[in-house]
Structure 1
Amino acid sequence: MCKAMEETLAQLRAAAEPTRLRLLALCARGALCVTDLCAALGQSQPRLSRHLKLLVEAGLLERMPEGSNVYFSLAARADLARAILARLPEDDPLLAADRRLAARLSAERVRAASDAFRDAGADWDEMRALGLPGAAIEAAVLAALPRRVGHLLDIGAGTGQLLELVADRCDAALGVDASRDMLALARGRLAERGLAPRCAVRQADMYRLPFPDGGFDAVTLQMVLHYAEDPAAALAEAARVLSPEGVLLVVDLAPHGRAELMERHAHRWPGFDDGQMAGWLGEAGCALSSPVEIPGPPDVNLNVRLWSAHRATAVQPA
């Protein structure tokens, strides 16, 4: 028996069970954690874990650890599962009840994350907090990206604002962030706008991305590098996962003299100049195009720079 036939039979066997079919239906709408899946289906974690293990081993679900929890989403190569789910009636009472409960649990998780940020006094919408021209920045980002993007990676995705902006241009868009609270807010935002699972988020370290070389057609870092201990290493890792014809887009602050931002917002860098960015990108094997500046309001005294780069040479893994 050929390998493809064996894989197909394994996937059919894995999907051919009521609980596992319900799990696939839920995870096809966006990543869910084990706790929420147990609550939505009303089953114990040990029992559900066995079903999830079978679905992962069959290549139908992807397992994504996130701190003490684990999230599951439909695997990119799970075309057979998508075909099976397409045959299920949207108004099936059991599946509809599962969806309603999962949506409520997700909303509660988003509210908890929002409360955590509010209680901590954190400004998670940094562009708004700094008084930067959001609409002009969004327009510049869209102008710098290709009209069609296959797979896009947004590093430091935060609440998923950039993913929402570029969703219509991408076959698939993935955001990564180190903060679980940010990821909870992003998942809620994407689900609320009907963008999951085409747009998804997961926890990851920007210095050690869990992706193969050259897997993304575009990589973005928006308002991320001024927090980085080592911007050069972050850009090198971003370039590693960029396809040979891909575009690397960096949006960040231009050099400024507002020293209070370093303390109040925990910035590590007071903006970046073109020479710094060209040097780091060059070391990462990327060639910098003409930067674009977006002026901030006069009373803010902050400008934003947009640096677009393309792969110039093959990037060797560190």
Structure 2
Amino acid sequence: MLTLDEMVGLLKASGEPTRLRLLALLAEGDLSVKDLTAILHQSQPRISRHLKLLYESGLVERLPEGAWVYYCLTRDESKGDLIAATLRDLDLQDVMIRRDRERLEQIKQANAQQAADYFQQNAEHWDELRALHVPESAVDAAILDCLGEQPIDQLLDLGTGTGSILSLLGSRCRDGLGIDANRSMLAIARARLDGPANGHLHVQQGDILDLASLDGEYDLVTVHQVLHYLDDPSAALQEASRVLLPGGRMLVVDFAPHEHEFLRKDHAHRRLGFSHEAMRRWMDEAGLSVEIAKDLHPDELEGEGSDPSLTVTIWLATKMADAHREK
């Protein structure tokens, strides 16, 4: 519940055209100052001032990532309800709101195209590029250790790339499916998985943010070094949770927070790693309970050919039986 003074303060903070537009945009997912500047066609200092007011009022939260800062709507339930009520009756056909949403879509498409172009150019050497900063043998061993001996019936690997996870877990599952948007990646994965021993493993083109046709079929979903390419990792986790059976497990492998801006500039990374706090929050919002959060620190991986400043993290979560599922 909010006091009278709190309510008045929040209404004042949101009751300005630019700040209301910012809230409407952030309702669509996390965005950086750069993104918001491009969408609203306002200067960076002006956008930052408005975001500062929203942050100080508690309506938005800051997510620093290296030299960048992303913003998202507050996690506070009462304040979130106020934002939702404010935006519920906002006319999406209003000229400014419609233009903002169009520019947001353009930015998302541009980001997706940048990642697709990068994958297209590097598909043939993808595993080699991964080895520059991810010691595959150590990570693979840790994945197997985290999963333990529990049998896997239906495996779904999201953003399967060259099929490395399907190859790793193929002997442990009854059936396995890999989803990826890039055809060049899928061609390599199919070649990798060719042979009678892998007849139960398949890959297909698809969008990991739209898995409606796969709803509720899998007892293990893996997301291996994928989330840092996405504008909205939480949306991917929620969609992945939808296809998990109650009690099913989700395995996420990605980088811990780091400051390697060159990965954003040269390798299409949208996020510079993920903290345990952020991942647990997103998992919880997706109806998942984190059971294991394991950091593979550089000193543990010495001699594996990894970048000495990058840490890899493995999260293993279980879908709660009463988790809400949208059909």
> What TM-score, normalized to structure 2?
0.58
Q: In the alignment, which residue of structure 2 is the partner of 1:259?
A: 261
Q: Does 1:284 align with 2:293?
A: no
Q: Does 1:306 align with 2:314?
A: yes
Q: Does 1:178 align with 2:181?
A: yes
Q: Contact 2:159/2:178 (CA < 8 Å) preserved in 1?
A: yes
Identity of counterpart residues, as a percentage? 43
Cα distance, 1:260 vs. partner?
1.1
Distance 1:135 1:121 in 2: 21
Pick which of 276-285 and 293-302 moved more. Answer: 293-302
Which one of 160, 164, 171 corresponds to residue 161 of structure 1? 164
Distance 1:284 1:306, change over 3 A: same
Structure 2's unaligned 5+ residue stretches are 1-116
CA RMSD of aligned residues (A): 2.2
Q: In the alignment, which residue of structure 2 is the partner of 1:315?
A: 324
Pick which of 215-224 and 137-146 moved more. Answer: 137-146
Distance 2:277 2:153 in 1: 30
Q: Which amino acid aligns with 2:205?
A: Q
Q: Which amino acid aligns with 1:317?
A: E
Cα distance, 1:290 vs. partner?
3.1
Distance 1:195 1:264, change over 3 A: farther
Q: In the alignment, which residue of structure 2 is the partner of 1:189?
A: 192
Q: In the alignment, which residue of structure 2 is the partner of 1:120?
A: 121
Distance 1:199 1:132 in 2: 24
Q: Contact 1:239/1:315 (CA < 8 Å) preserved in 2?
A: no
SS in 1 for 2:162: coil
Cα distance, 1:140 vs. partner?
1.1
TM alignment of 1:267-282, pairs within 5 A = 267-282=269-284
Q: Which amino acid aligns with 2:310?
A: L
Which one of 238, 241, 250 corresponds to residue 243 of structure 2? 241
Q: In the alignment, which residue of structure 2 is the partner of 1:61?
A: none
Which string of whole-angstrom CA distances, capped at 9 and with x for unpartnered residues, describes residues 146-187 of structure 1? 521000000000011110100111000110000011111101
Which string of whole-angstrom CA distances, capped at 9 and with x for unpartnered residues, describes residues 201-220 of structure 1? 01110100143432101000
Q: Which amino acid aligns with 1:308?
A: L
Whichever structure has more helix as a proportion of its residues is: 2
Which string of whole-angstrom CA distances, capped at 9 and with x for unpartnered residues, describes residues 82-128 of structure 1? xxxxxxxxxxxxxxxxxxxxxxxxxxxxxxxxxx9999355522663
Aligned residue pairs total 202
Q: In the alignment, which residue of structure 1 is the partner of 2:225?
A: 223
TM alignment of 1:31-50, pairs within 5 A = none
Cα distance, 1:315 vs. partner?
2.7
Distance 1:184 1:278 in 2: 34
Cα distance, 1:145 vs. partner?
1.8
Distance 2:119 2:251 in 1: 30
Q: Contact 2:146/2:292 (CA < 8 Å) preserved in 1?
A: no
SS in 2 for 1:269: coil
Distance 1:261 1:126, change over 3 A: farther
Distance 1:118 1:224 in 2: 12
Cα distance, 1:238 vs. partner?
0.6
SS in 1 for 2:215: coil
Which one of 138, 141, 144 corresponds to residue 142 of structure 1? 144
Distance 1:180 1:236, change over 3 A: same
Which one of 200, 204, 213 corresponds to residue 202 of structure 2? 200
Distance 1:243 1:126 in 2: 34
Distance 1:131 1:230 in 2: 23
Q: Contact 1:164/1:195 (CA < 8 Å) preserved in 2?
A: no
Distance 1:117 1:264 in 2: 9
Distance 2:180 2:310 in 1: 25
Cα distance, 1:144 vs. partner?
1.9
Distance 2:189 2:174 in 1: 19
Distance 1:279 1:291 in 2: 13
Distance 1:121 1:311 in 2: 34
Which string of whole-angstrom CA distances, capped at 9 and with x for unpartnered residues, describes residues 48-92 of structure 1? xxxxxxxxxxxxxxxxxxxxxxxxxxxxxxxxxxxxxxxxxxxxx
> What TM-score, normalized to structure 1?
0.59
Distance 2:325 2:118 in 1: 39
Cα distance, 1:264 vs. partner?
1.2
Pick which of 236-245 and 306-315 moved more. Answer: 306-315
Q: Contact 2:118/2:267 (CA < 8 Å) preserved in 1?
A: no
Q: Which amino acid aligns with 2:315?
A: W
Q: In the alignment, which residue of structure 2 is the partner of 1:132?
A: 134
Q: In the alignment, which residue of structure 1 is the partner of 2:154?
A: 151
